[in-house]
Amino acid sequence: MTIGWMGLGLMGSRMVKRVASLGEDVIAYNRSSKEIPDLPKNVRVTQRAPEATRGCRLTFLMLADAAAVEAALIDSGAIGSMEPGSVVVNMSTVGVEDSVRLADRVQAHGIGYVEAPVLGTTRPAEEGKLVALVAGKEADIDAALPYLRTMAHVIHRLGNVGNGAAMKLMVNYLLAMSMLSLGEALAFADRAGFDVRTAMAVLETSSVWPAVYAGKRPMIESGEFNPQFPVKHLAKDIRLFTEASEHWRAQTPMAGLARDLLRRAADGPLADLDMAALTTWFRDGETGRAPDA
């Protein structure tokens, strides 16, 4: 059986290797041409989306956003190339309503739809240590399970489509708040006369030191922000969080400010840098000021 794959970005280019390690042939679509180092021999890369669905019982998607999923899977005609009974597994981070809508459109073709957004970044993607937030019909999830297990060491089965997206956005809300808060804390420390290493050394010994600060510490201290998780995707996720919040009337007033700040960051030179670059943003310039400041 050939497995289909769509999206060879920062995450997809790593995750596809885990899937290929199970030994089956993989046909991997990417919109632009890509040279992926150390790509296993059983992975063939194509720029034609329908090749990553035709004859594939399973196609995994790791694309930027819902618009990318629509373009690659639906507008390209790729969905029409799938045999009824096959399954699409969307691992991209999309909105709650996006996911439900995509599921409806896919299922209208007699194709199963599983949502499986992931927690974890490029290193866990390489090592098969992501956390998958999986939702959809049980039989469809079971069909994808061996492949999900090679990418993720924890799999949460969360019920109906939309639930995986909701949990993913909840986590990334906290991620956004953590990085923005650290940026403000470090801007404050800078004005108080402390360099970033001293400030980080103090924070590390406090009770408010999460794993993400430890993970991003080398970038923050060196000032090199080669992207693992780019600012533009964090900005997307907080926007999706606020949209779902508004829909459910959840009381999340701080998220609106975070969304506006991240939108501004993603409109500027930080867009493609790792989100850890946000820790320099308030310190280094005017750009980080809140909209009404």
Residues that bind ligand NAP (CB under 6 A): 7-12, 30-32, 62-65, 67-68, 71-72, 92-93, 118, 121-122, 228-229, 233
Q: How far is the CB of 281 from ligand NAP (least distance, A)?
A: 19
Residue least distant from ligand NAP (Cβ): 9
Strand pairing class (118-119; 112-115): unpaired
Instruction: Pick the closer one to ligand NAP by CB: 240 or 261.
Output: 240
d(CA 214, CA 230): 18
**φ, ψ for residue 152 (rounded to 5)?**
-125, 135
Q: How far is the CB of 83 from ligand NAP (least distance, A)?
A: 23
Closest by Cα among 23, 18, 87, 80 to 56: 87
d(CA 277, CA 64): 20
Q: How far is the CB of 6 from ligand NAP (least distance, A)?
A: 7
Instruction: Pick the closer one to ligand NAP by CB: 2 or 99.
Output: 99
d(CA 156, CA 145): 11
Q: How far is the CB of 52 from ligand NAP (least distance, A)?
A: 11
Instruction: Pick the closer one to ligand NAP by CB: 158 or 189.
Output: 158
Q: How far is the CB of 261 from ligand NAP (least distance, A)?
A: 18
- Find where tokens 């600060």 sit: 213
d(CA 138, CA 127): 26
- Find where tokens 């890369």 sit: 45
DSSP 122-143: HHHHHHT-EEEEEBS-HHHHHH
CB contact at 8 A, 109 and 103: no
Instruction: Pick the closer one to ligand NAP by CB: 173 or 229.
Output: 229
Instruction: Pick the closer one to ligand NAP by CB: 7 or 128.
Output: 7
Instruction: Pick the closer one to ligand NAP by CB: 58 or 131.
Output: 131
